[in-house]
Amino acid sequence: AKMAKSSSGFSLSDLKSPTEMNDFETSVATDQIEALDINAYYNTPQDMALGETSTLNQRLMQVETQPDHTSSLYPVSQMLLVKHSLRCKTCDHNLSKPEYNPSSIKFKIQLSAYYHIPELRIKSIPTLKIGQEFRLEMTLQNPTPYALHVTIFDLSESSDESAAIKVPQLVMGLAPKDDTADLDIDKNFQSQFNDDNNFISFRKGNKLGFYINVCPLKTGECRFRIGMKHDFVNTVIQSTREGPNDRQSQISWITHKIWINLGDVCD
């Protein structure tokens, strides 16, 4: 603080309150308001550079000046964003741990569910009609570098659900994710996994498509529930029998409950 005072030649004792300032004028309300020039907003010339004109949000962030040009904008302070670690509340294992280098965006440990749970999506939805059965095509994608085995089963109840479904009674194998593989090359995945063409629509790399037979039972939203069970390879759990630095892979099965809403049903 002393260095700042000596370098600037200014001290806190030099500050004065508004009542001590002789030339201080208080603000007075007035009815005389400058008219708004609408032409500046609607009748702009065609050669106007939009990149040099400030937006409404930029002007509201600096209410004191409200500059019209971006060259007159001042830097706005932002909250500091830092990388942080995340631990499991049950087992206290690290779920997310970034690198120590602040300029690196990589993680030493990244166990988010997005990187380990198969991605299930609806590919297309036809027109829904009561009592008319159709085949709903869905896709599965493997985000892990390990081969996965996925099973889809029915969880719907006749009293609550608005559609009757029939899911394939088979175990669908998903190839591991390979960023270096060329997906345009046909590797004949169907013969490798021995797919049933009645339920498997396509297979490409670590992604496949399959069918679910759906029959809407009543008007309103077509909703039903399915279950998805897949294996999970955990390489972070340490072995207690071996040394503390040795790790082993542990395979476990995870089950998910999925609610699907296909939209309104036509009469």
Query: Mean pLDDT across the chain, nearest whole number?
Result: 79
Instruction: Report helix, strand or coil for 208.
Output: strand
Q: Is the pLDDT confidence value at 61 over 70?
A: yes
pLDDT score at 12: 55
Q: How many CB atoms lie within 10 A of CB 262?
A: 19
User: Between 257 and 25, whose confidence is greater?
Assistant: 257
Q: Which superfamily is assigned to 116-265 in CATH?
A: Immunoglobulins (2.60.40.10)
**Out of 102-106, 115-119, 228-232, 234-238, which region has the weakest mean confidence (pLDDT)?**
234-238
For the chain, domain boundaries: 81-111, 116-265
Encode burial over 109-134: b for 16+ CB neighbours within 10 A, e otherwise.
eebeeeebbbebeeeeeeebeeeeeb
Q: What is the tens place of the pLDDT at every residue in 106-151?
A: 888 877 888 889 999 999 888 899 989 999 999 999 998 889 999 9
CA–CA gap between residue 258 and residue 236 (Å, rounded): 27
Task: Give dist(CA 266, CA 260) in Å, integer.
Answer: 18
Q: According to the model, what pLDDT value does residue 59 have?
A: 84
List, as one string, the DSSP characters of 60-129: HHTTTT--SBGGG------PPP----EE-TTT--EEEEE-SSTT---EEEE--GGGTSPEEEEEE----B
227 pLDDT above the threshold of 90: yes
pLDDT of 20 > 90? The answer is no
* pLDDT at 258 exceeding the cut of 80: yes
